[in-house]
Amino acid sequence: MHCSAATSQHPESSLTTILIINGEDHMTTKAVDVLLVGAGAMSTTLGMLLKQLDPSLKISMVERLDHVARESTDGWNNAGTGHAAYCELNYTPKTADGGVNTSKAFSINAAFEVSLQFWSYLVQQQALPQPEQFINPVPHMSFVWGEDNVQFLRTRYEALSSQPAFADMEYSEDPEVLREWIPLIMQNRKEGEKVAATRVRYGSDVNFGSLARNMVKYLEKQDGFELLLNRTVKDLDQQQDGSWSVELRNEQSGKCEEIDAKFVFLGAGGGALPLLQLSDIPEGKGYGGFPVSGQWLVCRKPEIVNKHLAKVYGTAPIGAPPMSVPHLDTRLLDGETALLFGPFAGFTTKFLKEGSVLDMPRSISLSNLKPMLSVGMKNMDLTRYLISEVRQSHADRVESLRSFFPDAKDEDWELSYAGQRVQIIKKDEHGSGKLEFGTEAITAGDGTLAALLGASPGASTAVPTMINIIEKCFPEQMASEAWQAKMKQMVPSYGHDMVQEPNVLLEVRKQNLDVLKLDS
C-alpha cells in the first residue's frame, strides 16, 4: 500500500464499512461489483448499459478531477463530430488501383448507428434529457480543391453512395450549388478553381460532455451507484478470488481509500495506459502511447458564425496523423454557437490535458521499449509534421484556415486548447512496433478487467465498444434470456450485422433520426 487507511468521504454510502480500532477510524475494503475508472464518455456509457441490464449491480465510478467529463469528453476538448464516416476522408483511403477502400467507412457508420440507438432509447425512457441538450443536426460535408482531390472525392462518392447506408449522400462540383451549401467557404474563392463537395444533411454535432454528465446525473439517482470525485488510482492488485483491490488517494484529504471490485474498467482516456500497466495483466504487455496535443481556432462572432452550418472536412497534409485532418465546424455547446477550425497538432509528454510531463517517460518499460523506439524511427514524417505545427504562429494558423475560408481575419479567431490524444503503440508480428490511430479495447483473459486505449472515432462508437466489452467480460450473463432481451430493447439491431444487412440499418436509422430530431 502507498498511503495510510482513512475514513470515507461518503459515510452515507451503503457501499462503505467503517471499522473502529483503538479509537481510530480505519476503512475496510469497499466491495462493489463494478469499478469504473474515469468519468468520461466510455465509463458513463458502460455504467448506463450495465445498470440497465442489471439494476442490482453495485457500481462505483472514480474520477481524479472534481467534475465529470472534464478531459477529452468535454465539449470544447473535441470536435463533437458524431463520427459516421460521412465526411472524414481518412476513413476511405486511396487504393493502389486508384479506387478507395470503403470497409472502414461502412463499419464506423454502422457503429455510430448503434450509439444513436442507445441514446434514442435513453431519451424515450427519460434517462436522458431532450436531444437538443446533447446532440443537434449539423450537415456533414467533405470539401476539396484541385483536380486530383476532386477526382478522389468523386470516386469516393460513387463507391459510397452506391450502397444503401450512404444513398442519401449528395455530390456537386457546381460552384453555385456549393454557395448554397457552404457560403462562407465559397465566398471570394479563386475564379475557376476546381472544387467539389459531398453532403449528408443529417450529420450531427454531439456535446459529449453534456451527454456524459447527464448519464451520471441519472446513474446517481439509482440504488447501488456511487460517484467518487478527486480520487486518483495509485495501485491495482488482483486477489486470489479474481477480484481487484484498488487503492485510491483522496486528493482533497490526502488519505487512502480501498475498493474491492469483481470487475474493473479503465476508461480514463489518455490515463488508461499507465493504469493498464499497473494492473500487470499479460494482455497489456507491450503497449505504449504516443501523446498528441491539439489546438483549435475558434470564432464566436455572430456575423461570421451565422453564415456557416456544417462540419466540413478536407484532406490531411502530408505526414499528418489522421486525427489532424483539417475541418471547419459548427459547434453548439450549452446554448452557444461557434465555429471551430483545426486541429493543429503538437507534441507533449502529457497523457492528459491536466496531466504530468512525466506521463510518457514513466510509461516506458522493458516490454514496450522496442515497439516505441521502432515507431519513433519509422515515423519521421510525423515527427517533422509535429515540429512544424508547434512552431506555427497565430498568423500561420489563420493562413491555413484561409484554404477553407478565404476571407478569414486574424483578429476574428482565438486559440483554444483541445484534449490530449494518446495514439496506441503496440507490438507487431515481428516484435517491433506500429502506431495505431483508432481505439482498442484490451480485456484480461479471465474477464475481470478491461481497458480502452486510443483516440478517434472514440466517443462516437462508445456504445458498440462497451457492448463488446460486456460480451467478453460478462459472458454468462449476456447468454441469459433476460440480458439478451434487454440488449435488444436498448439496441434493436443487436445480433444483426448492419454492414451486411443494410435493411436493418435503414430501419433503425429512421427511428434514430426521428427520436433524436436529426433530420430537420
DSSP code string of 213-253: HHHHHHHTTSTTEEEE-SEEEEEEEE-TTS-EEEEEEETTT
Q: How far is 299 from 201, CA to CA, in rounded Å?
A: 23
Q: Is 223 left (phi over 0), alpha (psi -120 to 50) or beta?
A: beta
Q: Would you say 279 and 266 are in contact if contact means Cβ atoms under 8 Å apart?
A: yes
Q: How confident is the model at residue 213 (pLDDT cuts 50, 70, 90)?
A: very high
pLDDT of residue 6: 39
Residues 30-62 pLDDT 10s: 999 999 999 999 999 999 999 999 999 999 999
pLDDT of residue 20: 38
Q: Is 22 left (phi over 0), alpha (psi -120 to 50) or beta?
A: left
What value does the mean pLDDT take over residues 381-409?
84
- Phi, psi of 468, rounded to the nearest 5 degrees: -60, -40
**Joined grid coordinates for residue 143:** 470539401
Select the more confidently predicted residue: 151 or 381. 151
**Joined grid coordinates for residue 3:** 498511503
Residue 22 gets which letter from DSSP?
A: T
Per-residue burial over 171-195, b if 16 or more Cβ lie within 10 Å, else e, is bbeeeeebeebbebbbeebeeeeeb
pLDDT of residue 382: 66
148 three-state secondary structure:
helix
Identify the H or E element spanning 33: strand 30-37
Q: What angle do CA 322, 328, 333 make, to 5 degrees?
A: 105
Select the more confidently predicted residue: 118 or 324. 118
- Phi, psi of 467, rounded to the nearest 5 degrees: -60, -40
pLDDT of residue 383: 64
pLDDT of residue 21: 37
How far is the first Cα of the chain from the last one, in angstroms, to the nearest whole number? Answer: 56
Q: How far is 460 from 462, CA to CA, in rounded Å?
A: 6
Q: Residue 189 pLDDT > 60, yes or no?
A: yes
Q: Residue 191 pLDDT > 70, yes or no?
A: yes
- Phi, psi of 134, rounded to the nearest 5 degrees: -140, -15
- Phi, psi of 439, rounded to the nearest 5 degrees: -115, 150
CA neighbor of 272 nearest in space, from 254, 261, 284, 260: 284
Domain ranges in the chain are: 21-515
Q: Residue 245 pLDDT > 80, yes or no?
A: yes
Q: Residue 385 pLDDT > 80, yes or no?
A: no
Identify the residue whose cell numbers are 487507511. 5
Residue 100 gets which letter from DSSP?
A: B
Q: Residue 27 pLDDT > 70, yes or no?
A: no
Q: Residue 14 pLDDT > 70, yes or no?
A: no
CA neighbor of 249 nearest in space, from 234, 229, 270, 261: 234
- What rounded mean pLDDT belongs to the chain? 89
Share above pLDDT 90 across residues of the chain, in percent, rounded to a whole number: 70
pLDDT of residue 442: 94
pLDDT of residue 386: 67
Q: Residue 263 pLDDT > 70, yes or no?
A: yes
Q: What is the number of other CB atoms lying within 10 angstroms of the CB of residue 365?
A: 13
Q: Would you say 341 and 296 are in contact if contact means Cβ atoms under 8 Å apart?
A: yes
Q: How far is 355 from 363, CA to CA, in rounded Å?
A: 13
Torsion sign across C-alpha atoms 281, 282, 286, 292: negative
pLDDT of residue 370: 74
Residue 5 gets which letter from DSSP?
A: B
pLDDT of residue 350: 83
Q: Would you say 453 and 440 are in contact if contact means Cβ atoms under 8 Å apart?
A: yes
What value does the mean pLDDT take over residues 359-384?
73
Q: Residue 515 pLDDT > 80, yes or no?
A: yes
Q: How confident is the model at residue 23 (pLDDT cuts 50, 70, 90)?
A: very low
pLDDT of residue 470: 98
Q: How far is 278 from 449, CA to CA, in rounded Å?
A: 12
Q: How confident is the model at residue 4 (pLDDT cuts 50, 70, 90)?
A: very low
Q: How confident is the model at residue 322 (pLDDT cuts 50, 70, 90)?
A: low
pLDDT of residue 366: 75
pLDDT of residue 75: 87
Identify the residue whose cell numbers are 478522389. 152
What value does the mean pLDDT take over residues 236-254?
95
pLDDT of residue 8: 37
Contacts of 519 (CB under 8 A, 6+ apart): 137, 201, 202, 513
pLDDT of residue 18: 40
Q: What is the number of other CB atoms lying within 10 angstroms of the CB of residue 20?
A: 8
**Beta bridge partners of residue 415, listed in sequence order:** 297
Q: Residue 7 pLDDT > 80, yes or no?
A: no
Q: Would you say 396 and 251 are in contact if contact means Cβ atoms under 8 Å apart?
A: no
CATH 3.30.70.120 fits 21-515, yes or no: no
Q: Residue 346 pLDDT > 60, yes or no?
A: yes
What value does the mean pLDDT take over residues 326-332?
96
CA neighbor of 265 nearest in space, from 405, 2, 26, 60: 60
CA neighbor of 459 nearest in space, from 284, 212, 280, 266: 212
- Phi, psi of 217, rounded to the nearest 5 degrees: -60, -40
Q: Which amino acid is at 62?
A: V
Identify the residue whose cell numbers are 466489452. 469
What value does the mean pLDDT take over residues 374-395?
72
Residues 87-105 pLDDT 10s: 999 999 999 998 999 999 9
| Total residues found in the chain within this entry | 520
Q: How confident is the model at residue 431 (pLDDT cuts 50, 70, 90)?
A: low
Q: How confident is the model at residue 292 (pLDDT cuts 50, 70, 90)?
A: confident
pLDDT of residue 203: 97
Per-residue burial over 452-482, b if 16 or more Cβ lie within 10 Å, else e, is bbbbbbbbbbbbbbbbebbbebbeebeeeee
Q: How confident is the model at residue 428 (pLDDT cuts 50, 70, 90)?
A: confident
User: Among 157-166, 325-334, 416-425, 510-519, which is the least confidently predicted range?
Assistant: 416-425
Q: How far is 397 from 413, CA to CA, in rounded Å?
A: 10
What value does the mean pLDDT take over residues 397-418?
94
Q: How confident is the model at residue 353 (pLDDT cuts 50, 70, 90)?
A: confident
pLDDT of residue 10: 38
pLDDT of residue 444: 97
Q: Where are the alpha helices (DSSP H) in 125-207?
A: 147-161, 175-181, 183-186
CA neighbor of 272 nearest in space, from 435, 458, 67, 475: 458
Q: How confident is the model at residue 251 (pLDDT cuts 50, 70, 90)?
A: very high
